[in-house]
Structure 1
Amino acid sequence: MHILLTGGTGFIGCELIKHLTGHQITVLTRSPKKAKTALKHADFSNIDYINKLSSFSDLNHIDVVINLAGEPIAAKRWSSEQKQKICQSRWNTTQQLVDLIKKSSHPPKCLISGSAVGIYGDKDKQQVYENAPLAKNGFPYQVCQQWETIALKAHSDKTRVCLLRTGIVLGSDGGALAAMLPPFKLGVGGKMGTGEQYMPWIHLQDTARAIAYLANHNKASGVFNLSAPHPVTNLAFTDSLAKILKRPAFMTTPKWLMNLIMGESSQLLFDSVRAKPKHLTELGFIFTFSHLEPALKQIFHAREN
């Protein structure tokens, strides 16, 4: 297959390319030179780079589009300017891809486009399947709802669309875990607020494997929760992480403090989304890491080697 990949140098994209060997890949990147450095683990012979989608008049030569591009949502406080960056980096690229697909006489067979479990809002202890009601307001909902709406415009009898409602991706070299580790290593880790909020986590390898699986599965379309089958509460996550690191985890970070530090974006830490990957498992996808502790053990083993 010939795959067009946006967001290929990001946390998920770098891992995904490892799972796409044997395919021709075109990576959209603002800096091909930096991209080659970031993807030094990849086989350059099967990767091309472009720095703008206007290089194409259509996508007749592309079999699958995987759209992961977007400004990191948790990297900075949500100022008006930052919110604009988060939205436009997702919406604009997706709209350009949709326009190119519509201009194609032989369009890609599949568009796989990003989204996030934040679209559901705070669901407390309710199990959240793909047909669950969406949030009615909130910035994560606004970002993802419009992102998905744009992507779905590419759907036709020639092009299936898969939407990835991704949870907290855990890996050995970056992502959410990298931000969590410092206080735990210092012995001052602990739960956020009550710790009762559910965290829909997924191992980075399973994230990449699932995306590759959807690209190859001709019947895959619609919404997919990209999260492990067994989400855990923040307290359970904290206890597992402390156990593996052999560090105490007695601290509690109050919600008011994180609101003060992070502002509106602190909702990412306290919204409870007990997401279940029903559609993925019904398609036959098998997770390598279904439970948290084995996933964390593998991640820290990889970090040490």
Structure 2
Amino acid sequence: MLPNVSFLEASVAAGLGFALVFVHLWRRSRQKLQEDDPSQPRTMGSRVLIGGGSGFIGTALRKLLEHRGYQVTLISRTPGKNKITWDEVKKTGLPECYAVVGMQGSNILNIFRRWTDGFKKEVWDSRVETTKTLAQAISEASNPPKVWVSFSGVGYYKPSYVYDYDEDSPGGDFDYISQLATAWEEAAKLPAENTNTREVIIRSASTGVVLGRDGGAIKQMYFSFWFGSGGVIGDGMQFFPWIHINDLTRLVMHALENEKVTGVLNGVAPETITNWDFTKEFNTVLLRPGFFPLPRPIVNFALGEERAKMLTEGQAVVPKRTLESGFTFNFPKIKMAFDNMFSYRKWFFSY
């Protein structure tokens, strides 16, 4: 005789089973994205120090490093588990480590901070002075790290509707943002006599758009787009450098684990898009109209004209040396990136 199971109980059981399968496939898809080329060398158990590893990008990088067997120590303003402080680095130098990654810096697009001289100095010092601290500690270390990866920004390149910029293009001298990028990169340079530490600089879309569901630009803009008010910024024709968080963290790993990689790499996706392209794709994946543009004067008022240029003007930046170094993007096109972030169907057809 069959047990007396109500329709409601059966529905709940089926729903729970469906949810468990969904979570399992979701976790497997996330793990698959985290894995890199298995042929790449790994320095299992080695320590990597990360300056600024508590933010959106740093957290994702830490998880990837730990997934690949590295020990991660964050350099922070406050002490804690698996942390050292900036004061400790200044006083006692670096602990022994395989690599150092510098991605520290105050959020330059923090809408709750007015664009004052004081905030500009905070933004500058949080990047340039801390990078000087790391570079000096590396140069003075008795057993220096094998790799030193420092971040910079695509704001190094002058906004243009015409030019495509690669790693060898000129820039870095026309406004506060570009001068900040130049000073940031100069601060990262080790003395000429350094021969033990490989140096890499990633000019990333950290001053542009790093895409991921868990934070960054998408998290900040999600609700405005969800409610149909996500429109273009200004005329929408400005270029919009971007990269998926998975590709950015993999690029750092690529720099850490490939001995031939040195110098500047553009940490942006190969597909150059405009703000209009970005807005259209975001609204399309959410099935929203996006009726309301954000006029340039409002952006200037909210952020200050000098800072607002990061959103109202843009550059077409291409990752020429990045691709030549052998790096492959998981998400080279904006549609692929949005499909990954918002299309859940793939989790049921990938295995």
TM-score by length of 1: 0.90
1-structure distance, mates of 2:160, 2:105: 25
Gaps in structure 2 of 5+ consecutive residues: 1-45
* 1:125 shift after superposition: 3.2
1:221 is aligned to 2:255: no
Greater shift in the superposed pair: 291-300 or 181-190: 181-190
Aligned to 2:200: 162
Structure 2: how far apart are the matches of 1:176 and 1:121?
Answer: 22
Which amino acid in 2 is paired with 1:65? V
Shift in Å, 1:11: 0.8
Q: Say what the alpha-carbon RMSD is for the aligned residues.
A: 1.8
2:323 paired with 1:278: no
Does 2:223 correspond to 1:182?
yes
CA distance in 2, matches of 1:4, 1:184: 37
Match of 1:125 in 2: 162
Alignment size in residue pairs: 290
Residue of 59, 63, 84 corresponding to 1:50 = 84
Q: Report the residue type matching 1:199 in the other structure.
A: F
How much does 1:53 deviate?
Answer: 4.7
Per-residue CA deviation, residues 211-242 of structure 1 (Å, 9 max, x unaligned), is 01101111111111100010211111111111
Tell me whether 1:61 sits opposite 2:96 in the alignment: yes
Residues 144-167 of structure 1 show CA distances to partners (whole Å, capped at 9, x for unaligned) of 110100101356221121111111
Q: Sort the Cα spacing of 1:300 and 1:154 in 2 relative to 1 into closer, same or farther, 3 A.
A: farther
Partner of 1:31: 78
Please name the residue that 2:311 is paired with.
269
Opposite residue 201 of structure 2, the aligned amino acid is L
On the 8 A contact 1:164/1:225 being kept in 2, the answer is yes
Find 1:92's aligned residue among 88, 106, 129. 129
SS in 1 for 2:61: helix
Percent same amino acid at aligned positions?
33
Does the 8 Å contact 1:6/1:29 carry over to 2?
yes
**Higher gyration radius (CA):** 2
Q: TM-score, normalised by structure 2?
A: 0.78
Alignment check: 8 A CA contact 2:136 2:190 kept: no
For the Cα contact (< 8 Å) 2:239–2:316, is it kept in 1? Answer: yes
Establish whether residue 6 from structure 1 lines up as the match of residue 65 from structure 2. no
2:172·2:181 contact (CA, 8 Å) conserved in 1?
no
1:178-257 matches, cutoff 5 A:
178-257=219-298
- Of 15, 19, 22, the residue aligned with 2:60 is 15
Higher strand share: 1
Work out whether residues 172 and 182 of structure 2, in 8 Å CA contact, stay in contact via their aligned partners in 1. Answer: no
SS in 2 for 1:259: helix
Q: Which runs of no fewer than 5 residues in structure 1 stay unpaired?
A: 37-47
Determine if contact 1:71/1:85 at 8 Å carries over to the other structure: yes
Contact 1:101 1:154 in 2 (8 A): no
CA deviations 1:7-61 (Å, max 9, x no partner) are 111111100012112112221122345xx6xxxxxxxxxxx21123525634472
Does the 8 Å contact 1:60/1:105 carry over to 2? no
